[in-house]
């Protein structure tokens, strides 16, 4: 069996015929800059409904596991072209106390 790593998780995300397993969600937590870059590189290739499926799963996981943080993904997706993605990105930032986000939120809500 292949060892699961972030690249495997991203490859799986690109396959819209497969469900997103619960055990993959932790790999999206606390992304380092290299992993965030890998995520953003494939994001435009992910189908829109698949993006929302992932983000909904991450939001649900965030509510049930206090040890995960999807803040880096949330910040990165605040500028996404899809308003549904942006709305979910805000949800991923619910626990953030980063003052740099104030300007982003003002721009979104104005």
CA 57 to chain centre: 9
Q: Considering the entire predicted model, what is its pTM?
A: 0.91
**Could you tell me which residues come within 8 angstroms of residue 55 by beta carbon, excluding any fewer than 6 positions away?**
77, 85, 88, 89, 91, 92
Block mean pLDDT (10 aa), the chain, length 110: 87 95 96 98 97 98 94 96 95 89 78
């Amino acid at each position: 069996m292949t060892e699961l790593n972030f690249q495997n998780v991203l490859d799986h995300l690109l396959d819209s015929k497969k469900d997103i397993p619960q055990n993959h969600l932790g790999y999206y937590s606390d992304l380092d800059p290299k992993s965030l870059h890998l995520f953003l590189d494939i994001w435009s290739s992910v189908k829109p409904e698949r993006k929302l499926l992932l983000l909904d799963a991450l939001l649900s996981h965030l509510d049930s596991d206090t040890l995960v943080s999807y803040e880096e993904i949330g910040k990165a997706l605040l500028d996404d072209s899809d308003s549904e993605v942006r709305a979910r990105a805000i949800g991923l930032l619910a626990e953030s106390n980063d003052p740099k986000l104030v300007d982003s939120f003002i721009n979104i809500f104005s």
